[in-house]
């Protein structure tokens, strides 16, 4: 079976590629990635020489390239993760998000449809989405698979758009798809623009920890390897035309999470407890900031038997240890372009 994984050089994609390459030596895994600032081939150093793995650099929104690529390799399965993924960047450059997330997804769907033309037996298009498409919750309640879409940021609107097109291709052309909407991931190889890796990096270098608004925003955190295992399960056992919500059963207010991170980091860095907390700085809020996300993951639990394998404390400890042991990775991704991004996002007073 030839499987195309898009966005495999990114954070979640690299864990998914590794899971599939190592677990299924009989599959041929192709990783298509444009290597944007978020794509990093060093995430896959340990498996790059495996003979069931091929990397191809390319842009999912380039129609003629994508069509030729599908015709050449005749992928029977697609696991689609490539996306622009950072909410703050979507606020400054929304068009890029529409191009990659909506047009890119449509380009893949179209190539897959034109390749198989109703010959759908044993074919599957798996679209990876996010809980942010549901918008925001108040203090109570959970997102289920039937919660109405109500996206608030250009990022979540572009992901919602892509989800709608996947569903529409299923309804209109009978294209066999599965979709999952997951909560916030964390773990090794997470690009340090997102809360947890950004703050780990800043604590290491004694830089301030910019908490947006009052810090009373809530997210539901899931260890990335548990997400990769859920993706494996859904790809193989999920039902066509179905959506599965994936979550960590693990809600944290940002400020409480940041304080826990500070305490763990002080311990690991041999600094007196309380040192890192002094770096917390409340800064201007993110526009349109969603108050709370929380996933009801009972469908995937009941239908496919999935639940997270790692507690938050275990996952966070593993994550911090990985960053402390991979300082070179962190230095490489925080040099050059990252410095300009950081300055514009945090130091320009916008
Ligand atoms: P990421 O930003 O770390 O990686 C995205 C990857 O896509 C990068 O390797 C990048 O080079 C590639 N890419 C971007 N534009 C491309 C293009 N035009 N053509 C080909 N490749 C391109 O993202 P992530 O956090 O790993 O997220 C992966 C997927 O999971 C996304 O679809 C995201 O919406 C979804 N998701 C993420 C989270 C999370 O917490 N990170 C949670 C739920 C869902
Ligand atoms: O819920 C799933 C989504 O989780 C994914 O679809 C997105 O791709 C992923 O980026 C993530 O989105 P968030 O916006 O929730 O993640 P982020 O790490 O950017 O922010 C987490 C929370 O922390 C959010 O409430 C904003 C806050 N925050 C973030 C940053 C970067 C801060 O307070 N300060 C910061 O510097």
CB-CB contact of 80 with 127 (8 Å)? yes
Nearest partner of 338 among 122, 179, 194, judged by Cα = 194
- Examine residue 198 and state whether it is found in any structural domain, yes or no: no
Query: How many domains, in total, are found in the chain?
Result: 1
pLDDT, tens digit, 9 for 90 and up, residues 110-140: 999 999 999 999 999 999 999 999 999 999 9
pLDDT, averaged across the chain: 97
Q: Respond yes or no: is residue 131 known to be catalytic.
A: yes
Establish if 293 belongs to a structural domain.
no
The whole-number average pLDDT for the span 40-46 is 97
Alpha helices in the chain (DSSP H): 11-23, 63-73, 87-92, 94-97, 104-116, 154-173, 195-204, 224-237, 254-269, 298-304, 312-325, 327-333, 337-342
| 3-class DSSP assignment, residue 179 | strand
Mean pLDDT of 261-268: 98
Q: Is the pLDDT of residue 336 over 90?
A: no
State in Å: Cα 193 to ligand 1 middle. 13
Residue 13, pLDDT above cutoff 60 = yes
Look at residue 298 and tell me if it is in a domain.
no
**Is 59 annotated as catalytic?**
no
Q: Has residue 349 got a pLDDT over 80? A: no
pLDDT bracket for residue 325 (50, 70, 90): very high
Q: Residue 225 falls within a domain, yes or no?
A: yes
130 in contact with ligand 2, CB cutoff 6 A? yes
Residues with CB under 6 A from ligand 1: 6-7, 9-13, 33-36, 38-39, 59-61, 81-85, 100, 104, 128, 130, 159, 182, 184-185, 191
**Is residue 259, in this structure, part of any structural domain at all?**
no
CA–CA distance, 310 with 174 (Å, rounded to integer) = 37
pLDDT of 269-322, one tens digit each? 999 999 999 999 999 999 999 999 999 999 999 999 999 999 999 999 999 999
Range of the domain at 17: 2-186+221-246
Residue 350 pLDDT > 80, yes or no?
A: no
The answer to the question of residue 341 being in a domain is no
Is 33 marked active-site? no
Residue 124 sits in a domain of what CATH number? 3.40.50.720
Rounded-to-integer distance, Cα 232 and Cα 275, Å: 41
């Amino acid at each position: 079976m030839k499987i195309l994984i898009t966005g495999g050089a990114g954070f979640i994609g690299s864990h998914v590629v590794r899971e599939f390459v190592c677990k299924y030596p009989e599959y041929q895994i192709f990783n298509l990635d444009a290597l944007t600032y978020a794509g990093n081939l060093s995430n896959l150093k340990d498996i790059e020489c495996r003979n069931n793995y091929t990397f191809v650099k390319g842009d999912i929104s380039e129609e003629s390239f994508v069509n030729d690529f599908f015709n050449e390799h005749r992928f029977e399965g697609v696991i689609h993760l490539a996306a622009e993924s950072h909410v703050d960047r979507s606020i400054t450059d929304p068009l890029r998000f529409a191009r990659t997330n909506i047009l890119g997804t449509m380009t893949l769907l179209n190539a897959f449809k034109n390749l198989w033309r109703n010959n759908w037996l044993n074919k599957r298009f798996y679209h990876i989405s996010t809980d942010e498409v549901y918008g925001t919750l108040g203090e109570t309640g959970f997102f289920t698979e039937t919660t109405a879409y109500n996206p608030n940021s250009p990022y979540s609107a572009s992901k919602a758009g892509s989800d709608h097109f996947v569903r529409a291709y299923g309804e209109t052309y009978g294209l066999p798809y599965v979709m999952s909407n997951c909560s916030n991931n964390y773990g090794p190889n997470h690009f340090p623009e997102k809360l947890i890796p950004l703050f780990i990096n800043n604590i290491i270098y004694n830089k301030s920890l910019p908490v947006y608004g009052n810090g009373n925003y809530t997210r539901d955190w899931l260890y990335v390897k548990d997400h990769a295992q859920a993706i494996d399960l859904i790809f193989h056992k999920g039902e066509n035309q179905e959506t599965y919500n994936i979550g960590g059963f693990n809600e944290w207010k940002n400020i409480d999470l940041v304080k826990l991170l500070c305490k763990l980091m002080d311990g690991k860095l041999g600094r007196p407890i309380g040192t890192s907390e002094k770096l917390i700085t409340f800064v201007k809020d993110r526009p349109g900031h969603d108050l709370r996300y929380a996933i009801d993951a009972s469908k995937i639990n009941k239908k496919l038997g999935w639940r997270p394998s790692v507690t938050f404390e275990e996952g966070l400890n593993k994550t911090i240890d990985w960053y402390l042991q991979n300082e070179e990775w962190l230095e490489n991704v925080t040099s050059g372009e990252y410095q300009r991004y950081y300055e514009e996002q945090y130091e320009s007073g916008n």
